[in-house]
Chains A and B, each alone.
Chain A
Amino acid sequence: MNAFFKHLLIQFKMDIRERGTLMTYYLVPLVFYLVIGGVFSSTNPLAKQTLSATMVIFAVTMGAVLGIPSPIVKMRESGVLRAYRVCGIPGWAVLFIQAVSAFLHLLVVSIIIFFTAHLVFGSSYPQSLIGYSLALFILLFSSIALGLFIGVTARSQSIAMMLSQAIFLPTMMLSGIMFPVAMLPKAFRVAGHLLPATYIMQSFSGLAFMLRCDIDATLSLLIAAGIGVVVAILTVARFRDMEKSV
Chain B
Amino acid sequence: MTDESVVSVQGLIKRYGTITVVDNISFEVNKSEIFGLLGPNGAGKTTTLECLEGICKSDGGTMRVNGCNPQLDRHKLHQTLGVQLQSSSLPDGIRPGEAMSLICSWHGLLPRFDLLRRFGIDYQNKKQYSEMSTGQKRRLHLALALSCDPAVIILDEPTAGLDVQARADLHDVIRELKSTGLTTLLATHDMAEAESLCDRIAIIINGQIATIGTPAQITSAGHAETRITLRTKINCLLPGRDIGDAHFIKQTGDYGIWLCRDTAAAVMELLKEVQHYGDSVEDLRVERPSLEERFLELIEGSVQ
Listed in ascending order, the chain A residues whose CB lies under 8 Å from chain B are 2-3, 6-7, 10, 13-15, 17-18, 71, 75, 78-80, 82-83, 85-89, 93
| Chain B residues whose CB sits within 8 angstroms of the CB of A6 once the complex forms | 101-102, 105
By Cβ-Cβ distance, the 7 closest A-B pairs, closest first, are A88-B78, A83-B88, A14-B93, A3-B105, A17-B93, A86-B83, A79-B88
B90 interface contact, C-beta 8 A: yes
Does A2 lie within 8 Å of B90, measured CB to CB? no
Q: Does B89 contact A2, Cβ atoms closer than 8 Å?
A: no
Q: A2-B105, A7-B106, A17-B128 are in contact. Are A87 and B91 (CB under 8 A)?
A: no
B14 to chain A, nearest CB (A): 14
Neighbouring B residues of A71 by C-beta, 8 Å: 91
Question: What would 9 A/B residue contacts be, using CB atoms closer than 8 Å?
Answer: A6-B105, A14-B93, A18-B93, A79-B85, A83-B85, A83-B88, A85-B55, A86-B88, A88-B75
Please encode chain B, from 55 to 90, with 1 for each CB lying within 8 Å of some chain A CB and 0 for all others.
100000000000000000011001000010101111
A5: nearest residue on chain B (CB-CB)?
B105
Q: Between A and B, how many residue pairs show CB distances below 8 Å?
A: 68
Q: How far is the CA of A75 from the CA of B129 in the complex (A)?
A: 13
- The smallest beta-carbon distance between A86 and chain B, in angstroms, is 4
Taking CB as reference atom, which chain B residue is nearest A90? B106
* Chain B 86-116 interface mask (CB, 8 Å, partner A; 1/0): 0111111110001001110111100000000
B144 beta carbon closer than 8 Å to chain A: yes
Inter-chain contact A80/B91, CB cutoff 8 Å: yes
Assess A7 versus B105: contact at CB under 8 Å? Given A85-B55, A86-B55, A86-B83.
Answer: yes
Interface of A is mostly: helix
Chain A residues with CB under 8 A of B53 = 86
Q: Give the B interface residue count (CB, 8 A).
A: 28
Q: Which residue of A lies closest to B88 (CB)?
A: A83
Is there an interface contact between B88 and A18, defined as CB atoms closer than 8 Å?
Answer: no
Which residues of B sit under 8 angstroms from A85, Cβ to Cβ?
Answer: 55
List chain A residues, Cβ under 8 A from B78.
87-88
* B45 located at the interface, meaning its Cβ lies under 8 Å from any Cβ of chain A in the complex: no
The CA of A18 and the CA of B98, in the complex, are separated in Å by 15
Q: Is the CB of B144 within 8 A of A87?
A: yes
What does the 1/0 interface line of B111-137 toward A look like (CB < 8 Å)? Answer: 000000000000000001000000000
Inter-chain pairs besides A3-B105, A10-B101, A83-B141, 14 sampled, C-beta below 8 Å: A3-B108, A6-B105, A7-B105, A14-B94, A14-B98, A17-B128, A18-B93, A80-B89, A85-B55, A86-B85, A87-B106, A88-B74, A88-B75, A89-B106
Residues of chain A within 8 A of B91, CB atoms compared: 14, 71, 75, 80
Q: Are A78 and B105 in contact (CB under 8 A)?
A: no
Contacts of A82 in B (CB 8 A): 55, 85, 87-88
- Minimum distance in angstroms from A26 CB to a CB of chain B: 15
